[in-house]
Structure 1
Amino acid sequence: MFWEGLLKHNNWDISKGFVVAGKDTKDFLQDKLSLMGLTPKEYNDFIAYWLPYMQGNDYNLITFANEEYAQQVHLSIDPNPDSVLRVFMVYKPLTSKIDITPQQFTTFNRTGFSVVEWGGTEVNHS
């Protein structure tokens, strides 16, 4: 399923995450998305969509606002899934590298009927 929309909320918490050179973004995304629990097909689809927007930037500040996103965008599926993974990347193009506190992840374990959703957004605020 594909959906696209506008979120009223675009003031994401980007105080933790990663600063990645544009040229290193593909390898970074592959590593982190795999760590979060996406399969190779899923993370390759994610990368195919987002990399063209990101690889030409000097740097990208990247955070995964999965919980914050889930609080803003409600998901209702019938029948109820046994496990749900919602990956929402927030990135901001940067012209220079900055220091940021690294974000920590837990790996998603698929059980039974599993639902995986991925998406993202670019922020331009300071």
Structure 2
Amino acid sequence: MESNEYNLISFQSEAYTDHARLSIQPEPDTVIRVFMAYKPLDHYQEIPEQDLSAPERSGFTVVEWGGSELPLPDFQIKS
């Protein structure tokens, strides 16, 4: 990412969790899953700000963090 002039960044919520199932035993009280998708750009692009909320932790908490470059020409940001 550092070598790119610009990066289009989107934090995927249901788009990620609906397609990447997670099974943990014993079952956690709280699951926090963060997946950042990005696309290198050669110019500035105005995008809508994402509405991101901070999840509340309770009891046994699992946090998953990941990300990936998506060099697809039709990659769209969902707000």
TM-score, normalised with respect to structure 1: 0.56
Matched, 1:118 2:69: no
- The percent identity for this pair of structures is 49
Q: Which runs of 5+ in 1 are unaligned?
A: 1-53
Matched, 1:82 2:24: no
Q: Which has the higher contact order (CA 8 A, sep 6+)?
A: 2
CA distance in 1, matches of 2:3, 2:56: 33
| Matching residue's letter, 1:79 | P
Q: Which runs of 5+ in 2 are unaligned?
A: 74-79
TM-score, normalised with respect to structure 2: 0.87
CA root-mean-square deviation: 0.8
CA distance in 2, matches of 1:80, 1:101: 35
Alignment partner of 1:107 out of 50, 54, 57: 54
How many residues end up aligned between the 2 structures? 73
Instruction: List structure 1 runs of 4+ shifted beyond 6 angstroms.
Output: none
| Higher percent of residues as strand | 2
- SS of equivalent residue, structure 2 residue 10: strand
| Higher percent of residues as helix | 1
CA distance in 1, matches of 2:7, 2:51: 18
